[in-house]
Amino acid sequence: MAILIKGGTVVTAEGERRADVLIEGERIAAVGPALDTPAGARVIDAGGAYVMPGGIDPHTHMELPFMGTTTSEDFFTGTSAAVAGGTTTIIDFAIPNPGQSLLEAYRSWRGWAEKAVADYTFHVAVTWWSEKVGEEMGVLCRDHGVNSFKHFMAYKGAIMADDEVLVNSFRRAAELGALCTVHAENGELVVQLQRQIYESGVTGPEGHPQSRPPMVEGEAAHRATRLAEALNVPVYIVHNSCIEALDAITRARLAGQIVFGEVLAQHLVIDDSVYYQRDWNAAAHYVMSPPFRSKEHQAALWRGLQAGMLHTTATDHCCFCTEQKRMGFGDFRKIPNGTGGVEDRMAVLWTHGVRTGKLSPSEFVAATSTNAARIFNLYPHKGTISAGADADVVIWDPDGTRIISKDTHHQNIDFNIYEGMSCTGIPAVTLSRGRVVWQNGQLDVVRGAGRYVDRPCFAPFWASQNTRNVSRKPVKVER
């Protein structure tokens, strides 16, 4: 049955216009003013609303085994919460333990994700190095639609990538035409500073931000851009939280490098005062890395987003319930790192970004959907409203309101980092590949309806064209 979305204002990263959207099956069939209503079509009135591409969250961790436990959100509940918030595609992470086959880890995550209600795809982490890792990176690109490899510069003793891993993996990714993404914190510095802080007698959640100050992130972000420059590979820095990381990206981009930056919705609106609450549980709820920062960093991150030095917004949705957080009671180093928000990202960004004049509706669409689609090669199947695109659509009510609360969210976690936040601008209807999955405040999802999305490498473009870095042809002296 066709669906005709009538009377709305279509918003893409390029602009906005009054237009109807005709959906046939899983695809958008036509976009234009005053489209005819096909016989038998379902008509959805979008008068007074925006019609936007479904959100793409390029950074989630459903069912992640981490720090001795596993995130409380699985791919069914997590993608259900996502569509309730207007996000129709997630890019999650397959993270092998050091020594584990990348393909084996990828297959595990593929299995867990089969219960998803909306579309998904995976970055694959490189947590160790051998010839076999290099070979498997090639197989993942060639046969499994993986075009991005993640590197954790933090988490020493667990999944941290040292320089040997970074250099070998970056070089291999350049050969493959794949993108390198990094969690930029100096893992060695973190361990040293954690020990100092803990041994000084600070054992509570307030020790977490003190052991990961902005320069720990800025140093790693700078180093990641330099390694990428030396190895001629594009790099995407995830969850930039501070001025120092933003400066590293800005420097590299102004030098002509292909560098992209991601910012989390929560880092744009929550500051580090949360760690100094007297209630241990309440403070521990906010333990994630990089940590929440003081207010001047948020202002800089908003400016980075406006200036095009930060390109995507994400959530790093990595949920640990209060009891799991209490694994670190008495030692902040053992509090499982992560916070949620996959359901709240778009409403938070609309309320604090568009309604405050920081972002236009088009810039909102770029930051919540289109830029991620372009960077990770999902565009134009995802990330736009145009004929031929997947019918991942959110009908956005700019005047709708919602008070964010654990009591009403759909996320499988017993608290919400935005608890009590009043949002104006909410999804009225969400469609995933042409099926209404959220309407009138109700989910109508089908377990397993989500599909894995292939993301081809950019080899033809980046490998040949990426000469922006100074090319270093070896020089031989004839003697």
Residue 97: helix, strand or coil by DSSP? coil
Residues written for the chain: 479
Residue (289 or 298) nearer to ligand URQ, CB: 289
Q: Which residues have C-beta within 8 Å of that of residue 455, sequence separation ≥ 6?
A: 121, 145, 146, 147, 148, 376, 377, 378
Q: Where are the beta strands (DSSP E) in 33-100?
A: 42-45, 50-53, 55-57, 65-66, 69-70, 87-94
Q: Which residue's Cβ lies closest to ligand URQ?
A: 337
Applying CB under 5 A, which of residues 115, 172, 183, 325 lies at the interface with Zn ion?
Answer: 183
Query: Which residues, numbered 173-212, are part of the site for ligand URQ (CB under 6 A)?
Result: 183
- The reply on whether position 84 binds ligand URQ by CB under 6 A is no
Q: What are the φ/ψ torsions at residue 329 (nearest 5 degrees)? A: -65, 120
Residue (144 or 183) nearer to Zn ion, CB: 183
Residue (160 or 429) nearer to ligand URQ, CB: 160
Between helices 131-144 and 102-112, what is the axis angle to 10°? Answer: 40
Q: Which of 401, 406, 426 is nearest to 418 (CA)?
A: 406
Q: Which amino acid is at 247?
A: D
Q: One symbol per residue from 275 to 304: x for binding ligand URQ (CB under 6 A), - otherwise; what is it?
A: -------------xx---------------
Residue (268 or 288) nearer to ligand URQ, CB: 288
Applying CB under 5 A, which of residues 73, 92, 217, 316 lies at the interface with Zn ion?
Answer: 316
The burial class, CB within 10 Å (0-12 / 13-18 / 19+), for 138 is middle
Closest contact distance (angstroms) between CB of 320 and ligand URQ is 9
Out of Zn ion, ligand URQ, none, what residue 425 binds, judged by CB under 5 to 8 A for its kind, is none
Query: Which residues, numbered 241-280, are part of the site for ligand URQ (CB under 6 A)?
Result: none
Q: How far apart (Å, rounded) are the C-alpha atoms in residues 359 and 263?
A: 14
Compute how many residues bind ligand URQ; rule: CB under 6 A.
9
- The reply on whether position 381 binds Zn ion by CB under 5 A is no
Closest contact distance (angstroms) between CB of 255 and ligand URQ is 27
Centroid of chain to Cα 140: 20
Residue (207 or 338) nearer to ligand URQ, CB: 338
Q: Which amino acid is at 357?
A: G
The token pair at 141 is 């690109």
Q: Which residues have C-beta within 8 Å of that of residue 109, sequence separation ≥ 6?
A: 63, 92, 93, 94, 122
Residue (316 or 363) nearer to ligand URQ, CB: 316
Residue (206 or 316) nearer to Zn ion, CB: 316
Q: Which amino acid is at 132?
A: K
Q: Which amino acid is at 421?
A: M
Q: Which of 368, 376, 434, 442 is nearest to 118 (CA)?
A: 434
Residues 359, 380 contacting (CB under 8 angstroms): no
Name the segment binding Zn ion (CB under 5 A); options: 225-233, 272-280, 308-316, 431-439: 308-316
Out of Zn ion, ligand URQ, none, what residue 28 binds, judged by CB under 5 to 8 A for its kind, is none
Applying CB under 6 A, which of residues 219, 316, 363, 392 lies at the interface with ligand URQ?
Answer: 316
Residue 435: helix, strand or coil by DSSP? strand
Closest contact distance (angstroms) between CB of 268 and ligand URQ is 15
- The reply on whether position 318 binds ligand URQ by CB under 6 A is yes
Out of Zn ion, ligand URQ, none, what residue 337 binds, judged by CB under 5 to 8 A for its kind, is ligand URQ
- The reply on whether position 352 binds Zn ion by CB under 5 A is no
Compute how many residues bind Zn ion; rule: CB under 5 A.
2
Residue (183 or 212) nearer to Zn ion, CB: 183
Query: Which residues, numbered 149-168, are part of the site for Zn ion (CB under 5 A)?
Result: none
Residues 56, 369 contacting (CB under 8 angstroms): yes
Applying CB under 6 A, which of residues 207, 338, 383, 450 lies at the interface with ligand URQ?
Answer: 338
Residue (61 or 345) nearer to ligand URQ, CB: 61
444 CB-side CA count, 13 A: 13
Applying CB under 6 A, which of residues 66, 122, 302, 415 lies at the interface with ligand URQ?
Answer: 66
Q: How far apart (Å, rounded) are the C-alpha atoms in residues 376 and 148?
A: 7
- The reply on whether position 337 binds ligand URQ by CB under 6 A is yes
Q: How far apart (Å, rounded) are the C-alpha atoms in residues 411 and 365?
A: 23
Contact positions toward Zn ion, by CB under 5 A?
183, 316
Contact positions toward ligand URQ, by CB under 6 A?
61, 66, 183, 288-289, 316, 318, 337-338
